[in-house]
Amino acid sequence: MREVIEVRVTAKRHAKSDTVWRRSSLQWKEAITGIVFASPWIIGFVLFIAGPMLASVVLSFMKWDLLTSPKWVGLSNYKKLIFDDPLVYQALKVTTIYAFTSVPLQVILGLLLATLLNQRIKLLSLYRSIYYLPSVIGGIAVAIMWRWILGTRFGLINGLLRLIGIQGPSWLGDPKWVLVSFVLMSLWGTGGTMLIYLGGLQSIPTELYEAAQVDGAGTWARFIKITVPMMTPVIFFNMIMAIIASLQEFVAPFIMTNGGPHNASLFLVLYLYRNGFQFFQMGYASALAWLIFAYIIVLTGLVLRSSSAWVYYEGSMRGR
Amino acid sequence: MNQSRVRVPTYVKIFPRYWSPIEALQRVAIYMILSAGAIIVLMPFAWTLSTALKEPADIFTFPPQWIPDPIMWSNFPTALSAYPFGRWLRNTIFVVSISTLGILLSCSLVAYSFSRLRWPGRDVLFLVLLATMMLPGQVTLIPTFILFRYFGWVNTFLPLIVPPFFARNAFYVFLLRQFFMTIPLELDDAARIDGASYFDIYWRILLPMSKPALAIAAIMFSQFKWKEFMAPLIYLHDSEKFTIALGLRAFMGQYGPETDWNLMMAANIVFMIPLLIVFYFAQRYFIQGIVFTGIKG
């Protein structure tokens, strides 16, 4: 009798622990499978992102030309970056001027174009495709194309200007005009962001416009008082993306001017490329990379900080 | 019978509802602005095509001549045979197809894990993954180059095709995860009860159901890879190994072609055609991809 009870108890206990074990084994199996399936990214993250980031910090304190062995030089790369290299200031200046003109203009133009396209017009998809075309081609092909078009003597733009009696400038050859050229080119490609605006515009409830119209608001008032405030989250997003992209501009200046004339289009990443892959100063180039990173963080951080003052999120209590 | 039908005046066909004169003027203005913008956008492309079909003597004429006379179709074979274009094309197709395959396999598997499997640390790692999307590539550029150089991978295609197999472009993980989240979890449970493994669920249920999202990812990534410039520039040194984007730059030379702009533009068009064809047939996916994630390719 006692034996039987004992057997029952152990059997019961066994059964209980068995179910517990089985359930947790299922969870274990799921967890292990999850980690195994995520492992391509985890390995890639360690090998190609986290590892290189750490290495980049270490490298920025070293002098290394890849041929001789690396030498620890402490802060001297950063000292050179801040105090002894006028080209860093030139690159910062060029990139800043470009970003501060091209980004706001892109935002305004993109929003205006999207508003026009949002008027229930015919041929919407045709216009949309045309405006998106520059983003499809992108990069080097566009740079080559514009280098030809902006030619001083035989370029299309100066040819057309001459037809109406204007002597066009030396777009890419004049330090005063070269950044203007790059800004114009970036505006030409603004259709890529316009699509995102269009998506945002289509989600604005039409009742708002109808109510405003009943109250007698004109087209312009409706645009300023309804469209712009409702679009601020999209504007904010596009602005951040445009800032990041403009601070990393490389292909166009590399192909069209190679930084010239007189370093007037020496963008930061172009200068980084030169130091890393033409002068083989791996340490100094790493320090420069961190400068670019810091600059991106600072600018996007400022926009982020300011956003509470001008970005309107529906449902949030602003300023309370 | 005909009398019961109201004749529709032409102006109603053009303006589907009644437009006041001011509104009608506004519409006309809108079309004019949009068309002017479209012309400005298209003009460089038209000029590229026009230049590509000109004979050398006609390139530098004033006023600008839009229709080439004679039309030099032979510029295309001339441009393509002046450089090992066939070789570059094959290199590019190889790199694009292998790396796109890598991105689709790795990112979909990782996205499956992040969207449907529960494991410790998942949510924190997903935040890390999102953060890497914003990380400027310059920070990892130099050490990654040194790493690949240490592997002996410089001047091979490996630096261009191996990272995609490790989901290096986290954006596509994000895109596919967003899509997987819309597929009901009950499907997984039902499959589990029928004895399917996690891999079966991924391979036999999720992937077949996610064809539109996979198509978006494949199109966006392959277009990006076709145009990619900086990585080939850094890693590929022999002209035998160039991709077509890098080849264009070789064509151009350091200071630009002095006279051969017609050949240069012909080569440029050859480079653009696949991008345009894919865009034409897959516009829907481009728009969807943008609307879906809010990021342009």
Using a CB-CB cut-off of 8 Å, the residues of chain B touching A117 are 34
ipTM of the complex: 0.86
**Does the pLDDT at position A57 exceed 70?**
yes
- Taking an 8 Å cut-off on Cβ atoms, the answer to whether B294 and A199 are in contact is yes
Amino acid identity, residue B260?
A: D
Residue of B nearest to A132 (CA): B41
Residue of B nearest to A280 (CA): B142
Among A160, A162, A293, the residue with its CB nearest the CB of B136 is A293
Measure in Å the smallest separation between the Cα of B41 and chain A Cα atoms.
Answer: 6
Using a CB-CB cut-off of 8 Å, the residues of chain A touching B136 are 244, 247-248, 292-293, 296
pLDDT in the model for residue A315: 57
- Taking an 8 Å cut-off on Cβ atoms, the answer to whether A195 and B290 are in contact is yes
pLDDT in the model for residue A23: 58
Using a CB-CB cut-off of 8 Å, the residues of chain B touching A192 are 296
Measure in Å the smallest separation between the Cα of A14 and chain B Cα atoms.
Answer: 25
Q: Kindly state the average pLDDT of the residues A171-176.
A: 92
Q: Kindly state the average pLDDT of the residues B279-286.
A: 82
Between residues A15 and B59, which one has the greater pLDDT? B59
Q: How far is CA A140 from CA A251, B52, B79, B178, B213, in A?
A: 6, 17, 17, 31, 28
Q: What is the CA radius of gyration of chain A?
A: 29
- Taking an 8 Å cut-off on Cβ atoms, the answer to whether B119 and A56 are in contact is no
DSSP for A122-150 reads TTHHHHHHHHHHHHHH-HHHHHHHHHHHT
Between residues A13 and A189, which one has the greater pLDDT? A189
**Model pLDDT for residues B232-263, shown as the tens digit of each residue:** 999 999 989 999 999 998 888 755 566 688 88
- Mean per-residue pLDDT over chain B, rounded: 87
Using a CB-CB cut-off of 8 Å, the residues of chain A touching B26 are 219
b or e along A114-141 (b: 16 or more beta carbons within 10 Å of the residue's beta carbon)? Answer: bbbbbeeeeeeeebbbbbbbbbbbbbbb
Measure in Å the smallest separation between the Cα of B1 and chain A Cα atoms.
Answer: 33
Q: Kindly state the average pLDDT of the residues B158-170.
A: 95
CB A115, CB B26: distance < 8 Å: no
Amino acid identity, residue A2?
A: R
Residues contacting residue B19 through CB under 8 Å, at least 6 positions apart = B27
Written as six digits, the tokens of B91 are 């290199």
Compute how many other C-beta atoms are within 10 angstroms of the C-beta atom of residue A14.
10
Residue of B nearest to A48 (CA): B144
pLDDT in the model for residue B293: 60
**Model pLDDT for residues B184-196, shown as the tens digit of each residue:** 888 888 998 999 9
CATH of B82-293, one of 3.30.70.1450, 3.30.70.1150, 1.10.3720.10, 3.30.360.10: 1.10.3720.10
- Taking an 8 Å cut-off on Cβ atoms, the answer to whether A148 and B48 are in contact is yes
Percentage above 70 pLDDT, chain A: 91
- Taking an 8 Å cut-off on Cβ atoms, the answer to whether B122 and A188 are in contact is no
- Taking an 8 Å cut-off on Cβ atoms, the answer to whether A269 and B109 are in contact is no
Q: Kindly state the average pLDDT of the residues A306-318.
A: 73
Written as six digits, the tokens of A183 are 């800004």
- Taking an 8 Å cut-off on Cβ atoms, the answer to whether B34 and A44 are in contact is no
Confidence of residue B56 (pLDDT cuts 50, 70, 90): confident
CB B265, CB B54: distance < 8 Å: no
DSSP for A90-125 reads HHHHHHHHHHHHHHHHHHHHHHHHHHHHTTT-TTHH
Q: Rounded to an integer, what distance in angstroms lies between the CA atom of residue B214 and that of residue A248?
A: 28
Measure in Å the smallest separation between the Cα of B45 and chain A Cα atoms.
Answer: 8
Compute how many other C-beta atoms are within 10 angstroms of the C-beta atom of residue B98.
17
pLDDT in the model for residue A8: 46
Measure in Å the smallest separation between the Cα of B91 and chain A Cα atoms.
Answer: 17
**Model pLDDT for residues B97-142, shown as the tens digit of each residue:** 999 999 999 999 999 999 999 999 999 999 999 999 888 889 999 9
Using a CB-CB cut-off of 8 Å, the residues of chain A touching B134 are 244
Q: Rounded to an integer, what distance in angstroms lies between the CA atom of residue B158 and that of residue B164?
A: 10
DSSP state of A175: T
Measure in Å the smallest separation between the Cα of B98 and chain A Cα atoms.
Answer: 16
CB A147, CB B58: distance < 8 Å: no
Residue of B nearest to A153 (CA): B60
Whether residue B70 is preceded by a cis peptide bond, meaning omega within 30 degrees of 0, is yes
pLDDT in the model for residue A138: 82
Using a CB-CB cut-off of 8 Å, the residues of chain A touching B274 are none
- Taking an 8 Å cut-off on Cβ atoms, the answer to whether B106 and A119 are in contact is no
Residues of chain B with CATH 1.10.3720.10: 82-293
**Model pLDDT for residues A9-40, shown as the tens digit of each residue:** 444 444 444 444 455 788 888 899 999 999 99
pLDDT in the model for residue A269: 96
Chain A interface test: which of B108, B130, B142 (most A C-beta within 10 Å): B142
Using a CB-CB cut-off of 8 Å, the residues of chain A touching B30 are 116, 119, 121
Measure in Å the smallest separation between the Cα of B275 and chain A Cα atoms.
Answer: 7
Written as six digits, the tokens of A247 are 């601070």
Whether residue B63 is preceded by a cis peptide bond, meaning omega within 30 degrees of 0, is yes
Residue B291 host element (H or E) = helix B261-293
From A129, A134, A126, A127, select the one nearest A106 (Cα to Cα).
A134
- Mean per-residue pLDDT over chain A, rounded: 87
Confidence of residue A5 (pLDDT cuts 50, 70, 90): very low
Measure in Å the smallest separation between the Cα of B3 and chain A Cα atoms.
Answer: 31
- Taking an 8 Å cut-off on Cβ atoms, the answer to whether B142 and A56 are in contact is yes
